[in-house]
Structure 1
């Protein structure tokens, strides 16, 4: 499949030109990039910059599963925009369905040839993938550039996600991720398949001398908003999101581990560098600055977790959100 397979008159973005422009300002994209969809460069470099700006601006988080009255996630594009970009957003991000749908519409607003697809994750033991591929519980964007190259652009796999667009090529070339970690896509079948047609498989290794391990698989099938509405209920209610409070903030070069409202990335920098990540997993804060992941803070009460959300992620929950976790099984003391 190539860019010539896209129909004339691509689906319009759910977001207006003004909304896309506000997003470009929010992610602190260099002023050297034009905001016009016709003029915005459709290159690997510009796509990489947009991806890195996105993942270092909006935290990956599933707080709506735990800190809301419904304990459900609203993935309507306009609801996502209000949550991430509204005047009272409180530093919020979202989980995979929210962030990837949001990014899809922003890329469409800039004129990229992009479509969304579903992903099958593997089961894990102690965080390490090693089990069967499960049903559709994740989401991805596939981008076709005028050059003929195509990329997987996953901005919402949390701390295990890539920090660069991954080329969809059969050679499976390694791409450097954080620290010594390498990631890649390979085009192979998975054990439970009955068909011979290969899938794209996202793999990682935590050093060039180690074996590759697989996180997830996907096919080049276009998914629609309606498909993700079906997937969203199960993903937020019946997977790890239901049993863990998760937040991940990727760190841009020049940014501190602790959130600083005064931090402003230099707008004249075209090359955005991702240098680490800070993570909240239920009752602990973990930090990885390109090497080993270390626990730096432990929380015993909701008061402590609310403070950690503000200090490490810049997230400030509203009063009703804080109160909605009362009686919920994932609440701390």
Structure 2
């Protein structure tokens, strides 16, 4: 992409805003994009919070491209992200979802840059041994994603999906040789009485497209990668006012579950691949083509 940072033209930004169901009460005769740019200037944090929550509630976090496709690859090119997530209305995993959100924010006038984050073993395995997995980055973090912008302020606690809470701390890692080095650590807990669990750690160093290209290749191609072995899809649920995240809808394994207020309900048990394809359409508004559906045949993630 050269030295020029990518942006989307207004017509594509407006299509993205329609994709995430961002519909302000009035635009005062201006286009939706013009109205939003004005809001970015007058209330940048409030506007960012609205955009983040609408994105999380409408664009599923998932890895369908690695399972339901003929190519089993993930592209981070801005045009491919737009086609897949906005035009096709499909899901995107960490770097896809963050990638398009990042470009849209820049297109709207935000001063924004991306960095990479290590994922904690505590999230992947349930055991907090102080170790961290490879770099990756996303607009949220699957089930434990941040549902609002978090200031780089140590120890500030916020609700992410009641009764769950989130916070940032700054600390060294057990694997660091130089213990004076500290990184930001994003933590969550299920409720105020639960222990804090580390999810992601990151520094403030800017990452470039070539960095994410390397990370994306590793995450999507290494045989041991969880994303390669398992298909998953989830999205957040907004309250009726469209202002607060109140729960999650999750497809994992053979179940579709809904979690609201700390309570989990199984919505459907998936017996066949046909069940899963219909459930993707019903719960996530994802409509796969025949060639994409056939792409999962023979993979460990296929329902047999």
TM-score by length of 2: 0.89
Q: 1:71 is matched with which residue?
A: 72
Task: Report matched runs for 1:126-137 at 5 Å.
Answer: 128=126, 130-131=128-129, 132-136=131-135
Task: Say whether 1:200 aligns with 2:171.
Answer: no
Q: 2:209 is matched with which residue?
A: 225
Shift of 1:116: 0.6
Identify which of 262, 266, 274 aligns with 2:245. 274
Distance 2:7 2:46 in 1: 25
Distance 2:270 2:123 in 1: 24
Q: 2:59 is matched with which residue?
A: 58
Task: Report matched runs for 1:138-287 at 5 Å.
Answer: 138-140=136-138, 155-170=139-154, 172-195=155-178, 196-238=180-222, 239-254=225-240, 272-287=243-258
Shift of 1:126: 7.3
Q: Which has the higher helix share?
A: 2
Flag structure 2 segments of 5+ consecutive residues without an equivalent.
Answer: none
TM-score by length of 1: 0.82
Residue pair 1:251, 1:275 contacting (<8 A) in 2 also: yes
Task: Say whether 1:311 aligns with 2:304.
Answer: no
Shift of 1:318: 0.4
Output one character per residue of 1:179-222: Cα deviation in whole Å (capped at 9) or x when no partner. Answer: 21100111111211122121000101111122211111000011
Shift of 1:319: 0.6
The number of residue pairs the alignment matches comes to 290
Shift of 1:294: 3.5
Distance 1:220 1:206 in 2: 27
Cα root mean square deviation, aligned: 2.0
SS at match of 2:33: coil
Residue pair 2:230, 2:301 contacting (<8 A) in 1 also: yes
Q: Which has the higher strand share?
A: 1
